[in-house]
Structure 1
Amino acid sequence: MLQDQSTAARAIIAEHEAVNANYQPTDQDADYTTGFRKFGYWTLIIGTAVALLTILLVFVI
């Protein structure tokens, strides 16, 4: 039984490796990645500003 599962798993892995070997990134992928990075940077900046303001308010009050 384990041999059958091993054979099936190897076939699935081989299929996925074949699909990934033929993958060609597109301009849409680059746009998505750039947009996601910009969102991440803004989230980091805004989150840091909110945290600093909260700390400032806690220690001032």
Structure 2
Amino acid sequence: METKQAIEDRHSVRVFTNKDVEVNKLKGLVKLAQKAPSWVDSQPWKIYLVRGKSLAKLKGCT
């Protein structure tokens, strides 16, 4: 995708459903995020995927 097309096609989403996202899709997004550049290749980010009971606990729902 060209940069111009990506900018023109951009849109915001403000309404979400409670539908679970497939684990394979989440893993694919994490792999893409790992390819994102960082300043002086410092790679300061940490990514955590949580679902189910762990997510509820993180949200403070339990």
Q: Same fold (TM over 0.5)?
A: no
Rg: which structure is higher?
A: 1
- Which structure has more relative contact order (CA 8 Å, sep 6+)? It is 2
Greater helix fraction, Structure 1 or Structure 2: 1
Q: TM-score, normalised by structure 1?
A: 0.29
Q: TM-score, normalised by structure 2?
A: 0.29
